[in-house]
Each structure stands twice: as structure tokens, then as C-alpha cells.
Chain A
């Protein structure tokens, strides 16, 4: 049972490049979410999904897109990377929106 798997673990991009951060869970969880973690700040919600085909914006959605075509996968796309998007990105999942979330080990992203 792998839980929540995030790939890649590290990535360096140049300003303006695009990329997709992958997230997969094998717990049959309906709720999935993406957060970013920056020094001195709490985790901030980027986007979330309450089930396949349903997504919604969180606190800091600008510059990011998501889709949820299957229960298992919830990729996060950076459309045109900016230095302000340098951060650690965490994907999380739970049975329902009001249940405790299980986290992956993160993707460390640097934008030059």
C-alpha cells in the first residue's frame, strides 16, 4: 500500500517553462488536494477535488491548473513558471472533505 505518491521529488525549471506535477493515491479516496509550503508560512491550498470530474480553487490558484479524470490521479500543471512559484508542493487525499488528509512526500520545485 503506497499511500500518496508524488513525482518528481525535485525539479528545476526556467522562468516561462511549463510542467506537470504528478500525484497518485491507492486508497480509493474521493478528496484530493494540492498545497504549497513556503518558509514561515502554513501550508496553503492551491486546488482541490471532491471526486473524479470535479475540481475547485483554493486559496492560491493563480498560475496553476488541475484536472481529475480518475479517482486515483490528480496532476497539478504549472502553465508558465515564475520564480514566485519556487516552493515545496504537497498532494494530499482523504475519504471525504472533512476527514484528516494523508500526504505525499512532496515535490521540491525551483524556478530560475
Chain B
């Protein structure tokens, strides 16, 4: 079993829809949680960075962390065709020297 599980998709939604992307994990020591966006043939780009549990909002993006369920989510409101990309979750813990453990990514397609 992978430490971090992420549905590979593709997830296809119409423009303007609310998108929900999720990751589950098994290591309860994870404290830092990140979402990256990766366009085709480009490097990952940081979208959201959260510590411990709770919500964080930045424009159209909201990140949620539920440590009791070992579950993190990224919500995208008013989705745009430019949001079409692969979304990667990553997480780390102090006791493993902050080494990032990555999900395999979810491919998102926003249809105009």
C-alpha cells in the first residue's frame, strides 16, 4: 500500500463547476501538506501549503486537512479551462527529516 493515495483520473468537469480533489494517507506523523499543479511538460508549481489540520483559502482555491481521517482536499471554485492540469499532493513530517511523500497526481480537464 502506498503511503499517499490519489485517484489518477482523469476528472472531467464543465467550466464554472466546483472541483474537489483528494488524497488519503497512512502516516499519522505527517504535519505539512501541499498541493502542486503541473502543466504538461512543466515542473510542479506550488498552489497551497498548510500545516496540521484546518482550512486555508487563496482566491478560488481552498485546501482542507482532516488529520483524524488522514484525508486532504483541494477545492477549486469557478473552474476555468486554464485550470486543466495534473494536481499533485505532497506531505511531510519532522520525524522523517521533512522528506516529501507524493501522490501520483490527478489529471483534471475543464471543458469550455
> Out of A41, A58, A104, which one reaches B43, CB within 8 Å?
A104
> Out of B2, B88, B94, B101, which one reaches A98, CB within 8 Å?
B94
Shortest Cβ distance from residue B107 to the other chain A in the assembled complex, whole angstroms: 11
- Which residues on A sit within 8 Å (CB–CB) of B36? 103
Shortest Cβ distance from residue A65 to the other chain B in the assembled complex, whole angstroms: 19
Tell me, in angstroms, the Cα distance from A59 to B105 when the chains sit together.
19
- Which residues on B sit within 8 Å (CB–CB) of A105? 41-43
Q: Is the CB of A103 within 8 A of B43?
A: yes
Tell me, in angstroms, the Cα distance from A101 to B98 when the chains sit together.
12
- Which residues on B sit within 8 Å (CB–CB) of A102? 46
For window 1-40 of B, CB contacts with A under 8 Å fall at 2, 4, 6, 8, 32, 34, 36
- Decide yes or no: A100 and B46 within 8 Å by CB, A40-B8, A105-B41 being known contacts: yes
Q: Is the CB of A58 within 8 A of B99?
A: yes
Interface residues in A, total, Cβ within 8 A? 21
The answer to whether A109 has its CB under 8 Å from any CB of chain B is no
Tell me, in angstroms, the Cα distance from A48 to B49 when the chains sit together.
21
Tell me, in angstroms, the Cα distance from A42 to B86 when the chains sit together.
12
Interface residues in B, total, Cβ within 8 A? 27
- Which residues on A sit within 8 Å (CB–CB) of B4? 42
The answer to whether B44 has its CB under 8 Å from any CB of chain A is yes
Please give me the residue from chain A that is nearest to B42 by CB atom: A105
- Which residues on A sit within 8 Å (CB–CB) of B44? 43, 90, 103
Write the residues of chain A forming the contact surface with B, with a CB cutoff of 8 angstroms.
4, 40-45, 48, 58-59, 90, 92, 97-98, 100-106
| Given A43-B44, A59-B99, A103-B45, 5 further pairs, Cβ under 8 A | A40-B8, A43-B88, A58-B99, A103-B43, A104-B43
Write the residues of chain B forming the contact surface with A, with a CB cutoff of 8 angstroms.
2, 4, 6, 8, 32, 34, 36, 41-46, 49, 88, 90, 92, 94, 97-105
